[in-house]
Amino acid sequence: MKRALVLCITVTAVGCTGGTEAVPHPRPGPSFSDADVNRAIQQLARSGIAVLDQPGQAPAVEPSEPVSPVRLLRWQVRAMALEVWAGAGETGDRLDALRAKWPSEGGADARR
């Protein structure tokens, strides 16, 4: 369930791309750092997703409107940023192809 939630959050935050071309490796530097985490926090905030240092605290960066009900903790964003930095994960077109295989009625909700 946690893997599905992270996948859902990632798709919601980043969106899907329709292209089939290879995604360029996003590594901006030789090693992973807090700058990579902060960049991910900024991107999520622009998408309306709040990132908190600890549960119940104010967001590290105020999310843009419309604000999503999704809230993430910094350690969760760090894990996602590290996955992106390492070139892991799935592209939007791959996720679109997986979605196309779901039943047309009910989608993911039908499996609960």
**Element at 70 (helix H, strand E):** none
Cα distances (angstroms) measured from residue 61 to each of 42, 44, 52: 7, 9, 8
Q: How confident is the model at residue 96 (pLDDT cuts 50, 70, 90)?
A: confident
Say how many C-beta atoms besides its own lie within 10 A of residue 74's C-beta.
19
Nearest C-alpha neighbor of 32 from the set 73, 88, 72: 88
**pLDDT confidence of residue 23:** 47
**pLDDT confidence of residue 109:** 54
**pLDDT confidence of residue 67:** 94
Domain boundaries, the chain: 1-13+32-88
What pLDDT, in 10s, does the model give residues 1-53?
A: 445 444 445 544 544 434 444 445 555 567 999 999 999 999 999 999 999 99
Q: Is residue 103 over pLDDT 90?
A: no
Higher pLDDT, 84 or 13: 84
